[in-house]
Amino acid sequence: MDVQDETQRYSPLVAAGVFLGLGLGGFFDGILLHQILQWHHMLSSIRPPISVPDLELNMVGDGLFEAGTWLMTIVGVVLLWQAGKREDVAWSSRTFFGSILIGAGLFNLVEGLIDHQILAIHHVKPGSNELIWDVGFLVVGVMLAIVGWLLIRADKRRSHLVTDKNL
């Protein structure tokens, strides 16, 4: 089996995992940083939540953000369901969880670059060290994506070794 065929066998699983990772990464951010720790809200850098109307606006922004992460998760579940009905999909825990890590890392990178840096609508932890927190958020995203990619790559290598031994 050539590399192209092997990639096509894993692609549906990878796509499902990436979307699930995007959604789960967003849920982690929204639940931990927005709600539990309350370090920031979606619009807290442009409308600090110091009055009830500003807090309400930020809560609507958080809700829209969570709705977006919920949609990413639903897309991931649908893609996983569709992949599960196909006999040609190669099922692998390493590839699946690696894909989830890539999706979570991509979430951090995209959200961190757009919301924290380009639009500056909020920062991870506002204050004197906010740039350090923002950069740390991006670094965690890169690390998640790299670990995910390494898991998938190791799984493909292992698959090729098993295939080569059977030839």
Q: Are 153 and 15 in contact (CB under 8 A)?
A: no
The whole-angstrom separation of Cα 126 and Cα 54 is 17
Write down the pLDDT at residue 155: 84
Give Dmax over CA atoms of the chain in angstroms.
70
For residues 114 and 34, is the Cβ–Cβ distance under 8 A? no
Contact 28, 87 (CB under 8 A): no
- 100-119 pLDDT, tens per residue? 999 999 999 999 999 999 99
Length of the chain, in residues: 167
State mean pLDDT over 9-23.
96
Please state the pTM of the whole predicted model.
0.89
The domain total for the chain is: 1
Residue 167 has pLDDT above 60, yes or no: no
Structural domain including 126 reads: 3-166
